[in-house]
Structure 1
Amino acid sequence: MTHDLLGQLFQFDNYGELLVLVRNSLLAGAVLGLTGGLVGVFVMARDMAFAVHAVSELSFAGAAAGLLFGVGVVTGSLAGSLTAALLIGLLGSRARDRNSIIAVLMPFGLGLGILCLALYTGRAANKFGLLTGQIVAVDNPRLHVLLVICGIVVVGLLLVWRPLTFLSIDAQVAEARGVPRLPLSIFFMVLLGLAVAVSVQIVGSLLVLSILVTPAAAALRVSASPLVVPLLSSLFAVVAMVGGIMLALGGSVPISPYVTTLSFLIYLSCRGAGWWRERESGRRRDTKVVA
């Protein structure tokens, strides 16, 4: 039984031939990892991890509606994500308001998405893929859309990197120095909405946090450098995405468990490394005091 279970999880027969078939998925995973890693830095700095989940729920609802009404999963996902992002950006300027809005949006988005999927009479795989991702769903048109959207997100982040970092670290001082708080917050939420919408296409709406939150959280465990953290976060996200796709290629289960497991293992490793570094630093301080 154990052998059969491992065979379902890991199957590498004809692996080279299968690898060619998911070339688009590997490229999409790498680009998505890079984008998610950069966005995740600001998600963590602004304490918006659950905002990502709220946006993903509305993205799921939009994608399910797009599937039901035939307007396209990508179009519906973008509409849902941007709607949630704008609502949170406009109405949730303060943490208490933001948390309330997120708590309202999450069940509404999930319920609406479930309703649309229940009414949809097409392939069951399409329904399941919205929740858990699809490894072979990245055709050339979808890849082009993903590359364009990720390019917009990355360029947008680079344009506002310094003021957004300042605003994320100390909003009151940044606002006193003339940084436009509300427009910049809304702009970031739009970028976040775009990143979530494209992530849903690969890892599914329920597991977006593994790309937009976990890698950045892991990077912050081993460094506080404003240069090193984005680089590590992007690297971790790319490893989780590409590694997850390659592990899932021969198996019979969706891609998402592999991506989330790799992402979680990276986080645990970084947490352990951070703990060890703090322990050694404390030992050195104690040795100096004794000396």
Structure 2
Amino acid sequence: MYLDHTVLIVLSGSALAGAMAGAVGCFTYLRKEGLLGGIVAHSSLLGITGAFLLGSLLGGAELAERWILPGALLGGIVSMLFVSLVTRATPVKPDTAMGVTVALFFGGGLFLLRILQALALPGHRVLRDYLFGQAATITRQETLLLLILACSVGIGLFLFWKELKLYSFDPHFSLSSGYPSRILNHLLILIVVVAVVAGLRTMGVVLMVSLLVSPAAAARQWTKRLGTMMGLASILGALAGATGTLLSATARNVPTGPVIALAATSFALISLLVAPRRGILARLVQQRRNRKEFFPFPSQDRPGRDRPDQIGLHPGGRA
């Protein structure tokens, strides 16, 4: 298959978004906060539509499109700050606060989106690309921006690797060891928000959570080391992005974002099935071996267990 310049740009952007989301998703997976990325993605819609509306009023369609990504970043950060404020100021549990945040921010974003569609502001159709994803329209400048964001996330993970690793596995021990847990929590949330915002153009706010959860879940089945897990999750995320791009480029009327989500989910399902130690097949084989090792005789011939006819009982249990 011949890859033209446009396909290579889309392929590079999708692979970068998948690799970044796969690496960052490992921390949310280990902290059992897999839906955190979905909450950030859905909540960013309010920031996207609000920034577009403000930019349209101040400078027209060109300025509005430039403000979309900063608005998405601001919306994701504000949503997480809102969750933290609710959990600290009220007796509401974190999962309930996240549900309220999604309803408020995503609902508000849809409300503003409908208003923008009714006003028919110039360039408002681009907002649908961030709602459902439109990887085919990624430009060279957006790919370069993805590369910059990926490098920033990588540098942040490298500089605070030990602290984030300790905080993710045992936050109480991290706090007792003198590490600033609140700062680490905010830093991790910021990294998640950046990774989510970077992939919105490719996956949209609806499907972005698949790139955060599925590669990390797949990588966890193959290793016990966090570094190896992050590397493998990055590779699987990039492969999912490349698979979706190539399939959409070769087949007609095949959307890129949903195919990327299906590819990432397929990797997770295959890993859950055939992983050598944690996979379903491996566990079934190990259970069978354990039964043969601990119970080498058939149930009716096991030593120490008498049959009913040997103690004067009929099969029905009567003497």
Residue 259 (structure 2) pairs with residue 279 (structure 1): no
Give the Cα separation in 1 of the matches to 2:149 and 2:87.
25
> How far 1:126 sits from its partner (Å)?
1.9
Give the Cα separation in 2 of the matches to 1:236 and 1:144.
21
Seen in structure 2, the aligned counterparts of structure 1 residues 215 and 56 have a Cα distance that, compared at 3 Å, is same
Larger Cα-atom Rg? 2
Give the Cα separation in 1 of the matches to 2:246 and 2:195.
22
Residue type at the aligned position of 1:149 = L
Q: Select 1:25's aligned residue among 10, 31, 34.
A: 10
Give the Cα separation in 1 of the matches to 2:93 and 2:161.
25
1:37–1:234 Cα contact (<8 Å) kept: yes
Give the Cα separation in 2 of the matches to 1:96 and 1:49.
20
2:38–2:209 Cα contact (<8 Å) kept: yes
Which structure ranks higher in relative contact order (CA pairs < 8 Å, sequence separation ≥ 6)? Answer: 1
Seen in structure 2, the aligned counterparts of structure 1 residues 91 and 163 have a Cα distance that, compared at 3 Å, is farther
CA RMSD of aligned residues (A): 2.4
> How far 1:197 sits from its partner (Å)?
0.8
Give the Cα separation in 2 of the matches to 1:56 and 1:62.
10
Number of corresponding residues: 276
Once structures 1 and 2 are overlaid, which stretch shifts more, 239-248 or 174-183? Answer: 174-183
Partner in structure 2 of residue 128 of structure 1: 128
1:203–1:256 Cα contact (<8 Å) kept: yes
Q: Select 1:105's aligned residue among 98, 101, 108.
A: 101
Give the Cα separation in 2 of the matches to 1:105 and 1:141.
32
> How far 1:209 sits from its partner (Å)?
1.1
Once structures 1 and 2 are overlaid, which stretch shifts more, 192-201 or 113-122? Answer: 113-122
Residue type at the aligned position of 2:2 = G
Residue type at the aligned position of 1:79 = L
Seen in structure 2, the aligned counterparts of structure 1 residues 78 and 30 have a Cα distance that, compared at 3 Å, is same
Give 3-state SS (helix, strand or coil) of 1:179's partner: coil
Residue type at the aligned position of 2:95 = N
Give the Cα separation in 2 of the matches to 1:27 and 1:196.
17
TM-score, with length taken from structure 1: 0.86
Residue type at the aligned position of 1:60 = L
Seen in structure 2, the aligned counterparts of structure 1 residues 97 and 158 have a Cα distance that, compared at 3 Å, is farther
Q: Extract unaligned runs of 5+ from structure 2.
A: 56-63, 297-319
> How far 1:253 sits from its partner (Å)?
4.0
Residue type at the aligned position of 1:73 = I
2:247–2:254 Cα contact (<8 Å) kept: no
Partner in structure 1 of residue 258 of structure 2: 257
2:14–2:135 Cα contact (<8 Å) kept: no
Q: Select 1:64's aligned residue among 28, 44, 49.
A: 49
Give 3-state SS (helix, strand or coil) of 2:47's partner: helix
Seen in structure 2, the aligned counterparts of structure 1 residues 245 and 89 have a Cα distance that, compared at 3 Å, is farther
> How far 1:86 sits from its partner (Å)?
3.6
2:39–2:102 Cα contact (<8 Å) kept: yes
Residue type at the aligned position of 1:255 = T
- Taking every aligned residue pair, what percent have the same amino acid on both sides? 23
1:85–1:193 Cα contact (<8 Å) kept: no
Partner in structure 1 of residue 2 of structure 2: 16
Partner in structure 1 of residue 166 of structure 2: 166
1:44–1:217 Cα contact (<8 Å) kept: yes
Deviation track 1:67-126 (CA, whole Å, cap 9, x = no partner) reads 333333222212212222344456657x96422321111011211211221122245752
Give the Cα separation in 2 of the matches to 1:90 and 1:246.
43
Give 3-state SS (helix, strand or coil) of 1:208's partner: helix
